Amino acid sequence: MVLDVADTMDACGMPAAVVVGHSLGGLVAVEYARAYAGAVLAAVNLDGFWWGRPGEYPGAERVGELLRSSDGAIAPPGYIERQVVHAARYGIPSGRAEAAARAAVCPLPGGGWQTLPERRAALEMYGELDRLGALGATAWLKGVECPLLLVQAGRPQPPSPAMEWFDDLSARFARGLSAELAELSRNRPTITVTQIDASHPMVLEAPEAVATLIAGFVRSLPGTSAGADLRRMD
């Protein structure tokens, strides 16, 4: 995939790009910037952070256990409809929620769904996330020299029924991460940290606000102008 992106950039006459990702994609954007510094003008991480160093946030290990037990599983026929209902708790319009849910599955004979990534890849992914998270945000971002925009969700997720422990963990993690990122931005002028008035699924909750934030960051970069060309590669 990395080679495909590089080839596409060359074909479009783009010597360098700003890479942007949300959640897992935010971590990928940072790692891409680390590995391919010459092709990356800057990177934007939209609330893509793992759960801190081991023992730093008690209860975080339960999140990993829950995700590993469910991700990559086969979902029943009504899965898409349930995802749309869940997204309504965040104020996400049904059409937008359905499109996002369908993009994250493959249909199976009989009406069920294969959630993506499939189980083996999902387990490998969580192993890598645990490795990155164990570093803590400060150590993780060390060595990434290009400008970074780190965007943290400014609102908590809706309460999770029968999972008060997760709501408490999320609040503790958000406070700790916010303090760590603020300190990081004071010591590293290439890092910009901000919050947005949305919860974690910000790209579905507030896509216009996210786009405005990214456009402003890109146009503030050295060597870009107020009329900078913002293009998307799928």
So what's the pLDDT on residue 162?
84
Please state, in angstroms and rounded to a whole number, the distance separating the CA atoms of residues 141 and 144: 6
pLDDT in tens, 83-112: 999 999 999 999 999 999 999 999 999 899
Cβ-proximal residues to 31 (8 Å cutoff; 6+ apart), any chain? 132
pLDDT at 226: 45
Q: Report pLDDT digits (tens) over 173-185.
A: 999 999 999 999 9
Cβ–Cβ < 8 Å for 27, 129:
yes
Task: Decide if 153 contacts 198 (C-beta within 8 A).
Answer: yes
Alpha-carbon dihedral sign for residues 180, 185, 188, 192: positive
pLDDT the model gives residue 106: 97
pLDDT at 232 over 60: no
* pLDDT for the residue numbered 228: 47
Domain 2-53+136-219: which topology? Rossmann fold (3.40.50)
Q: Which of 6-20, 114-128, 174-188 has the lowest mean pLDDT?
A: 6-20
Give the per-residue pLDDT at 88.
97
Mean pLDDT of 184-196: 97
The domain ranges of the chain are: 2-53+136-219
pLDDT tens digits for range 154-175: 999 998 888 899 999 999 999 9
Three-state DSSP state, 133:
helix
